[in-house]
Amino acid sequence: MSLSFGARLRTVLDEHGPLCVGIDPHAALLDAWGLPQTAEGVRAFGLTVIEAAAGRVGMVKPQVSFFERFGSRGFAALEDVFTAARAAGLLVIADAKRGDIGTTMAGYAQAWLEPGAPLESDALTISPYLGGGSLAEAIARALPVGKGVFVLAATSNPEGAPLQTALVQHGRTDEPQETVALRVTRDVTALDPHDGALGSVGLVIGATIDRSRFALDDNTLRTVPLLAPGFGAQGATPDDLRLRFGTLAGNVLASESRSILSAGPDRIAATIDERAARYQEVMGG
């Protein structure tokens, strides 16, 4: 049986710290980098980020949409970026936010998480809003082959909060209500029977939110990997890591994209060094 994603992630977090570099080739960034608005442009962008990240951090998170907009050539470019990242020893989190039911969800798992697949990544972001149980097929396929998922739970976009903090009944009608975010958390983490160490079913929790509004306390999330967008350009700083996540800070993947990518191709490596060092300092490393 493959080493679990949670175990591999634990090693990466301990060795390299929490910084996860986003690969988001926005149109404006391609222009700023002097790259064409083509599949070749996003490929060159992605490979440059991989070269800068290798050995400096342990994780990258390509945003699939910026490749997908160029159709089949964009996906071919993404395959090259994934291959280069994995060859460089980086964990690859495909930010694709897939979500469906049954065999369709299984198809997404095969595309993104199956060993040897053209789009093979180490983990995939997925959406639970067809019900947490709808993700069971993807999770069942991911775990035995050492792959992971990150389930959207408490996102930083303002539109998400009214849904994710809404109260629902869990189980019997005489039981207390809980937030949708907590219900999602309970449903999906129950599908990951790990041994008490870091699990392979993670959550996406925005770095800028108030977790208490979503009823996601430290004890509930004790062994859950937390992918936390919102660091950098969205306002959270490395100093906020312990402030916002407390005892969970060691399980957090602090995702930064624009704050690093806007440095440009000539400064990106130095910027990654600077940001990674600051997170290491915050974590006491």
The CA distances from residue 20 to 139, 172, 210, 284, in Å, are: 22, 40, 21, 18
* Type of residue at 64: V
pLDDT at 42: 98
- Distance, in Å, from the CA atom of 45 to the CA atom of 24, rounded to the nearest integer, reads 9
For residue 257, the tally of other CB atoms under 10 A from its CB is 23
- Distance, in Å, from the CA atom of 254 to the CA atom of 241, rounded to the nearest integer, reads 8
> What's the pTM?
0.96
pLDDT at 176: 80
Per domain, the residue ranges of the chain are 5-282
pLDDT at 14: 96
pLDDT at 171: 65
CB neighbour list of residue 122: distance below 8 Å, 6 or more residues apart: 5, 8, 86, 91, 92, 93, 147, 148
Of the options 3.40.50.150, 1.10.10.10, 3.20.20.70, 3.30.540.10, the CATH number for the domain spanning 5-282: 3.20.20.70
- Distance, in Å, from the CA atom of 36 to the CA atom of 162, rounded to the nearest integer, reads 39
Catalytic residues: 97
The number of CA neighbours under 13 Å toward the Cβ of 271 is: 17
pLDDT at 235: 84
Q: What is the mean pLDDT of each run of 10 residues along the chain (285 residues)?
A: 90 97 98 98 98 98 98 98 98 97 94 97 96 92 97 94 90 79 95 90 96 95 96 88 94 97 98 96 85
